[in-house]
């Protein structure tokens, strides 16, 4: 799964990825960002603009926010689940993070765990494939754009930590994922597990500790 990420501020992301953003947008970034907050994304609808979407997808047809977990979408269910299949080929997005957290069980029952921050090597950001949708709250008229991160079975690197991982993207495969001109079959190919050598991890003692965070990956 992928249920906790770190992100940079909106100005840094926009500058590095050459993206536009709405006037008045102020997003400071977070080293400990959970679902139901907003993630920085690029959508296939506006691939040149940095947007922020609610992290836990609300299908357009829902009468209310889902009571089930929708911050992750399993790759193997994308083409069969009513929550996801209508978005394939139509509403793809790329989530822009600095990395994601995962916990490794240190004993059989999982009473003791070690947290890791995991990221892409030699790439400015850790990019993840996602889906997005727009939902109208019938009680208020508010339009909420939301997203989910697609997960898959782990590669060898992740298998020793967890049995799921986000579908990570290179800069090039991210462009393909949000290219509406390409056939869906070609876009789905980028969701193959990323090679082990493109990833790195660092143990974390206390998630959210700024001082510790700034020294990760420095040794």
* Beta carbons within 8 Å of 4's beta carbon, 6+ residues apart: 32, 33, 34, 100, 101, 207
Among the options 93, 102, 147, 167, which is catalytic? 102
Is residue 15 annotated as part of the catalytic site, yes or no? no
Is residue 66 within 8 Å of residue 72, measured between CB atoms? no
Q: How many CB atoms lie within 10 A of CB 78?
A: 17
Q: How many CB atoms lie within 10 A of CB 82?
A: 8
Cα separation, 17 vs 177, in Å, equals 16
Cα separation, 184 vs 189, in Å, equals 9
Q: How many residues are listed for the chain in this entry?
A: 219
Q: Which is nearest to 208 in space by CA: 1, 5, 39?
A: 5
Q: What are the strands, taking DSSP E only, across 98-206?
A: 99-105, 113-120, 126-136, 143-152, 165-166, 168-169, 199-204
Among the options 2, 93, 147, 167, which is catalytic? 2
Is residue 45 annotated as part of the catalytic site, yes or no? no
Active site residues: 2, 102
């Amino acid at each position: 799964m992928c249920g906790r990420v770190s992100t940079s501020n909106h100005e840094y992301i926009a500058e590095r990825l050459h993206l536009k953003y709405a006037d008045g947008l102020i997003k400071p970034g977070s080293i400990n960002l959970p679902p139901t907050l907003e993630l920085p994304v690029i959508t296939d609808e506006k691939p040149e603009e940095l947007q922020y979407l609610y992290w836990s997808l609300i299908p357009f047809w829902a009468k209310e926010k889902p009571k089930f977990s929708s911050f992750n979408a399993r790759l193997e269910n994308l083409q069969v689940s009513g929550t996801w299949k209508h978005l394939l080929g139509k509403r793809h997005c790329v989530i822009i993070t600095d990395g994601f957290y995962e916990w490794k069980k240190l004993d059989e029952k999982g009473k003791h765990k070690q947290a890791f921050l995991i990221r892409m090597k030699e790439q400015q950001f850790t990019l993840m494939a996602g889906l997005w949708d727009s939902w109208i709250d019938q009680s208020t008229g508010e339009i909420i754009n939301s997203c989910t991160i697609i997960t898959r079975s782990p590669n060898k690197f992740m298998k020793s930590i967890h049995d799921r991982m986000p579908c990570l993207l290179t800069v090039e495969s991210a462009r393909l994922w949000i290219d509406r001109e390409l056939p869906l079959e070609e876009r789905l190919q980028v969701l193959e597990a990323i090679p082990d050598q493109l990833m790195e991890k660092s143990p974390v003692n206390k998630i959210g500790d700024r001082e510790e965070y700034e020294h990760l990956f420095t040794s």
